[in-house]
Chain A
Amino acid sequence: MTAHVPALLVVLPLLAAVLVPLLALRSVPLAQLIAMLSVGGVILGAGLALRRVLIHGTWHYALGGWAPPWGIEYVIDPLAAGMALLISSMALPALLYAGPVVAAWSAGQVGAFYSLFLLLVTGLLGMVVTGDVFNLYVFLEISSLAAYALLATGGIRAVVATFRYLLIGTIAATFYLLGVGYLYAITGTLNMADLTAQLATLHTSSAFVVAVAFLAIGLAIKAALFPLHAWLPDVYTYAPAPVSGFIAAVMAKVSVYALLRLLVFVLRAEGAAGQALLLLHWAAVVAVLAGALLALAQQDLRRMLAYSSVGQMATIVLGITLGTPAALLGALLHMLNHAVMKGCLFLALGGVQWRTGQVQLADFVGMGQRMPLTMAAFGVAAASMIGLPPTAGFFSKWYLLTGALEAQDWLAVLVLVGSSVLSLIYFFRVLEVAYFRQPGVQALQRELPWRMLTPMVVLATLVVLLGVWNQVIVTQVLQYALPHGVAWPRT
């Protein structure tokens, strides 16, 4: 059984996605339980896989017994296993949280919702474990299609936002597919390891430049890298809370993972791939500040969190493109930390909206008394976003800053510090209104049901624990996930 863990990571949620809508017609609680159990199984499998690859090295799994490079191969290294663990670990709290949100829906609707959620998880997991560039495209589209349907459940504004996202997302996926076509035309292979070998002598061809351009632009759109971020704010703002909590936590990060995997691990930052990394670096420098400034300008807190995500995704890309060991560790640690804290923030904010209908900054007066636990979770995650020790956010920013200093990139140092100051302002603003302004009338305390409260309290605790354990995570796991023997271009 353990020999097939790589395939089971994808097959388990896929099977559950088929079963759940049928079960929901019989019993909704049973369907919800099965959905959560399947994700729990994936967490276990990803944990086992991570443990194994840390001890024995990269795990190659030929799907259906077809030998690579002809067949599709799943390749699990510490980076892929870590991402799979992160995706499944963020899906479980979101699924638990969804219970009360969908309580008023019909059994058919609940079944479809959980089924789509599991398909989204399937697609994202497939993207991180696959060792085949076309297979990655298929999983990218599976996750995107499931995400479009899920996002559109948030009302008519969500439908408008989702339709736009669908068009832009399809442009992104089509560009990616074209890039794959060019790579295939040059090398005649779709297997990532084989591509690396074939391209060693072919990366000077002009078709390679076109391939890299299409791949990088496609994935940068999906990763919402400013100025290609326009789809993101509306989509995150109008989606239902469990969906935005999960998607904001991991979906764009999986596209950043794909960028890292292709440009650095597969194309080895050679030729045009190195140039693409340089261009992404400049885009990220601008995006870090632009995201933070746009977040500062928002009164709708969902939109503030969305723009903050634009800035934070750019921070991760900045770490990757700086390329020094500390910056790469910072980028990977920030992927983990940002997923947990942004997931927590969206779930907490969604809870406030679910209970009170309020999302505007001005309406948060006295919220610290009305929903003490929810706001406490929000406060802890916000402290981590600002980068206060001992929360997780402090340590990833520390590594990123160290990396920028190592690279002697003073502009990167400046924007990293600047965006931290800006996030201090826009998050402190919320805490100030929620805790220190006295409401006109004494509002009643009314907390969320336990199924919504537990996930955000767990995530808030995790924000602190990840901070305390940061050294263990870096020395025991993340440093084995770094690429080796790749030289980043500097000019």
Chain B
Amino acid sequence: MGMLSLGALHYWLVACLLLIGLHSMLAQRNLLKKLMAMNIMQVAVIVFFIALAAKTGGTVPIDTPSIKQVDAYINPLPHALMLTAIVVGVSTTGVALALLIRLYRRYGTLEEPEVLAQLMESA
């Protein structure tokens, strides 16, 4: 059971989340659901980085005169990186939604097979 020990449990959950996102991006037929699956995949990576930074008994990373040793602080870098990744995720979702709005206005549907069928007809 070494591999499946409770200490690594959250990494297995992250892997599940990543696979759920990836699988749904491929398997879902609705374009909006594909986009939601993409967000699930991105969240998995965010949780992964945050889990890397977790530390039992660490304090907030603000320079406190009474605490001298570096080990006592939580590493703030993964959190800062993930703030950027969240911004990237929001921007990507925004651009994707703008594209979907244009598609919906034109075809009246976001079901991929129907959109492709209408594309074929117009060709």
A residues near B, CB below 8 A? 134, 138, 141, 145, 148-149, 152, 156-157, 159-160, 162-163, 166-167, 170-171, 173-174, 177-178, 181, 184-185
Q: Does B68 contact A (CB under 8 A)?
A: no
What is the predominant secondary structure among interface residues of chain B facing chain A?
helix
5 closest A-B pairs by CB:
A141-B88, A163-B99, A159-B102, A148-B95, A156-B106
Q: Which residues of A are found within 8 Å of B25, using beta-carbon distances?
A: 167, 171
Q: Which residues of A contact B31 (CB under 8 A)?
A: 163
Chain B residues within 8 Å of A159, by CB:
99, 102-103
Find A160's partner among B38, B41, B95, B119 (CB 8 Å cutoff). B119
CB distance from B44 to the nearest CB of A (A): 8
Minimal Cβ-Cβ distance residue in B for A135: B84
A167 CA / B34 CA spacing, docked (Å): 8
- Residues from 87 to 123 in B contacting A, C-beta threshold 8 Å: 88, 91-92, 95-96, 99-100, 102-103, 106, 115-116, 119
Pairwise interchain contact B92-A171, C-beta atoms closer than 8 A: no
A152, B95: Cα distance in complex, Å:
10
Q: Is B49 interfacial (CB 8 A cutoff)? A: yes
Residue on A with the closest CB to B99?
Answer: A163
Are A163 and B49 CB-contacts (below 8 A) given A134-B81, A171-B41? Answer: no
Asked if residues B38 and A170 are in contact (CB atoms below 8 Å), the reply is yes
Known: A134-B81, A163-B99, A166-B92. A174 touches B45 (CB 8 A): yes
Known A-B contacts: A160-B103, A160-B116, A163-B99. Give 19 more (CB < 8 A): A134-B84, A138-B84, A141-B91, A141-B92, A145-B91, A148-B95, A149-B95, A156-B103, A162-B99, A166-B92, A166-B96, A167-B25, A170-B41, A170-B42, A177-B45, A178-B45, A181-B48, A181-B49, A181-B52
On whether the beta carbons of B92 and A145 are closer than 8 Å, the reply is yes
Question: What CA separation (Å) do A33 and B88 show in the bound complex?
Answer: 30
Most buried by A among B92, B102, B115: B92
Residue total for B at the interface (Cβ-Cβ under 8 A): 30
Residues of B43-88 at the interface with A, using a CB-CB cut-off of 8 Å, are 45, 48-49, 52, 78, 81, 84-85, 88
A contact face: mostly helix, strand, loop, or mixed: helix
Q: Is B22 an interface residue (CB 8 A)?
A: yes
21 residue pairs A–B, Cβ–Cβ below 8 Å: A138-B88, A145-B88, A145-B91, A145-B92, A148-B95, A152-B102, A156-B102, A156-B119, A157-B119, A160-B119, A163-B99, A166-B92, A167-B38, A170-B42, A170-B92, A178-B18, A178-B45, A181-B45, A184-B52, A184-B78, A185-B52
Q: Which residues of A contact B22 (CB under 8 A)?
A: 171
For A185, the chain B residues whose CB sits under 8 A away are: 52
A400 and B99 alpha carbons, distance in the complex (Å): 41
Q: Are A177 and B119 in contact (CB under 8 A)?
A: no
Which residues in B have their C-beta under 8 angstroms from that of A166? 92, 95-96, 99
Find chain B residues with CB under 8 A from A138 CB: 84, 88
Evaluate contact between A178 and B38: CB separation under 8 angstroms.
no
C-alpha gap A282/B17 in the complex (Å): 31
Interchain CA distance A139-B89 in the complex, whole Å: 14
Question: Roughly how many angstroms separate A461 CA and B18 CA in the complex, as a whole number?
Answer: 49
**CA–CA, A169 to B86, complex, Å?**
16
CA distance A277 to B52 in the complex (A): 28
Smallest distance from the beta carbon of A180 to chain B beta carbons, Å?
8
Give Cα distance in the complex from A185 to B18, angstroms: 18
Query: Which residue of chain B is the closest to A162 with respect to CB atoms?
Result: B99
Output the nearest chain B residue to A149 by Cβ-Cβ distance. B95
Closest to B89 in A: A170
How many whole Å from B26's CB to the nearest CB in chain A? 9
Q: Considering the chains assembled together, what is the distance between the CA atoms of A157 and B106 in angstroms?
A: 11
Q: From residue A306, how far is it (CB to closest CB) to chain B in Å? A: 17
Docked Cα-Cα span, A134 to B96, in Å, equals 23
Chain B's closest residue to A152 (CB) is B99
Q: Which residues from chain A contact B103 at a C-beta distance below 8 Å? A: 156, 159-160, 163
CA distance A184 to B115 in the complex (A): 42
The listed residue (B34, B35, B48, B88) touching A178 by CB distance below 8 A is B48
CB distance from B38 to the nearest CB of A (A): 5
User: How far does the Cβ of B41 sit from chain A's closest Cβ, in whole Å?
Assistant: 6
Distance in Å: Cβ of B88 to nearest Cβ of chain A = 5
Counting chain B CB atoms within 10 Å of each CB, the highest count among A148, A163, A184 belongs to A163
- In this complex, what residue of B is CB-closest to A163? B99
Chain A: CB-nearest residue to B107: A156
